[in-house]
Amino acid sequence: MITEIVTHGSPAHLDELVAVLLLQQHGEEKLPGVNTAQFRCLTAQDNVEELAQREDTVLLGLGAAFRDEGNKHRIVDEHVVTGDQTQKNECAATLAAKFLGLDQEFRWRKILRAVLHTDKNPPNLALDLSVTVMEFQLQGWGLHAVLQYTEMTLNAHLKKADQFAATSLLPMRQVELQLNGKQQWITVIEGDDPKAPAFARFLGAAVVVVKNPSGHIQILPTSHLRLDMRDVVRVLRSREEWARGNKLDIPWKQIEQEGALKDYPTWFFHKETNNILNGGRSRPDIPATKIPLDTIVETVKMCLEGGFEPSRQERCREGICTSTLKNQCRWYNFALLRCRAIQVKMH
C-alpha cells in the first residue's frame, strides 16, 4: 500500500507535479493507495536508498541509482546513472504516463509534450507553468496548494483538448514529410470546418493543406518550425500560370515576394505567418486554383524536403548544375533556392 510520494528537495518541478496528478488520478489499480498518499519533498533526514526499498513509497525525480526489478514500478526518475541513458529523453511526467498507459491518450499528448520540453529547455510559453509553480513555492506556498493550482490549470488544458476531440472532423489524411532528417507530416483536409486546421496542428502536423468546397486552397505551416516557404510560393505561382496557359515573365525573386503579385493574384504570401493563401473566406473574389490538390501537396514536399531532380541529383550534390538550353532540367524553371545557390557558385 502506497502511503508516500517523495520528490527531490524543494521546490518541486512541473514534471513531478504533473506526475503526481497522473498517479493519484489514474494509478490506484497499479499502485494501491497512491490516490491518497502524502506528497512531499525530500528532507535532510531522509535516506534515498532506504526510501527506494520501502514498498509504501513512490520516488519522483530521484532514486534511479537504487532502481531494480523489484522497485522499478515505484521509481519514476529519468536521470542518468552509471551511464544508463535509456530514460534520458523522458521526464517524471512522461515516465508516469507511460507506466499508466496514458502517453498516447489524445487529451494528454500536447500537455506531456510541453511539460517534457519545459523540463529540458527554458520555459515553454505553450504551457507556462514551470516558472509559476517554482515561484509559488519560493514565496511560501505549501506543496498541496501548488498541486491544486497545477491541477486546475491542467484541467483547463484537458477541457480544451476534449473540445478539440469532440469537433466534427473533416476527412483528413497525412502525407509523410522529411525535414532535416526528421519525420514530420503534411495533413491534408478537404472541407470548410474552421477548427480543423487548428486540430491538425494540435496533433503535430508540420504543414496543413486545406481545400475548401469552393476549390480554394490554404497552406498553413506550423509557426515554431520557421519553415522557409519562398520555394513553395514561387513554384505554386509558376505552376498556376502554366495551368492557365500563361507565363510568369518576371524575375525569380519577384515571384517569391510577399503579398499578391499585381497581375497574378491567385496566390497570396503572408510572410509574417508564413501562410500561402488562394482566396478563401477573406477573399472570395480570388479565383480558385487550377492546380490539382495532389500536385499542391507534392509541391510542398519537393520544396521543403530538399534534394534535387532525381535523374541529375548526383551532379547537383557535387555542386554542378547540368541544365542547358538544349537539355534543360525539368526543375530549372522552379528556381529553387538550393539550385540557384549552385548556379551562383558555378558562375
| Residues 16 and 149 placed together within one structural domain of the fold | yes
Percent of the chain with pLDDT over 90: 41
Which cell goes with 300? Answer: 510542398
Domain end point (choices 130, 146, 165): 165
pLDDT of res. 227: 93
| Residues 231 and 317 placed together within one structural domain of the fold | no
| Residues 297 and 322 placed together within one structural domain of the fold | no
Percent of the chain with pLDDT over 70: 95
Question: Would the pLDDT of 93 be above 60?
Answer: yes
258 φ, ψ (degrees, to nearest 5): -75, 170
Q: For residue 126, what pLDDT band results from cuts at 50, 70 and 90?
A: low
- Size of the chain, expressed as the number of residues it contains: 347
pLDDT of res. 122: 58
**Closest to 30 (Cα-Cα) out of 77, 97, 115, 80:** 97
The alpha carbon dihedral of 210, 216, 217, 218 has a sign of: negative
pLDDT of res. 170: 60
| Residues 292 and 257 placed together within one structural domain of the fold | yes
Establish whether the linkage from the previous residue to 11 is cis, with ω within 30° of 0.
yes
Instruction: Give the residue numbers spanning the domain of 341.
Output: 310-347
DSSP 9-36: SSSPPHHHHHHHHHHHHH-TTTSTTGGG
317 φ, ψ (degrees, to nearest 5): -70, -20
| Residues 329 and 242 placed together within one structural domain of the fold | no
| Residues 95 and 130 placed together within one structural domain of the fold | yes
pLDDT of res. 268: 92
Strand partners, 231: none
Question: Would the pLDDT of 221 be above 90?
Answer: yes
Between residues 345 and 205, the one the model is more confident about: 205
| Residues 251 and 322 placed together within one structural domain of the fold | no
pLDDT of res. 7: 93
| Residues 24 and 137 placed together within one structural domain of the fold | yes
| Residues 243 and 195 placed together within one structural domain of the fold | yes
Between residues 44 and 120, the one the model is more confident about: 44
pLDDT of res. 99: 94
pLDDT of res. 172: 84
How many structural domains comprise the chain?
3
Mean pLDDT is lowest, of 25-34, 63-72, 206-215, 320-329, for 320-329
Coil, strand or helix at 181:
coil
Between residues 228 and 280, the one the model is more confident about: 228
| Residues 119 and 205 placed together within one structural domain of the fold | no
Q: For residue 88, what pLDDT band results from cuts at 50, 70 and 90?
A: confident
Question: Would the pLDDT of 166 be above 80?
Answer: no
| Residues 43 and 132 placed together within one structural domain of the fold | yes
CATH at 242: 3.10.310
pLDDT of res. 240: 95
Domain end point (choices 143, 165, 187): 165
Strand 217-221, strand 75-76: pairing: unpaired
Question: Would the pLDDT of 58 be above 90?
Answer: yes
67 φ, ψ (degrees, to nearest 5): -80, 135
Question: Would the pLDDT of 167 be above 70?
Answer: no
Domain end point (choices 165, 187, 205): 165
CB 235 within 8 A of CB 303: yes
Q: Helix 106-120 vs helix 14-26: angle between axes, to the nearest 10 degrees?
A: 150
| Residues 244 and 201 placed together within one structural domain of the fold | yes
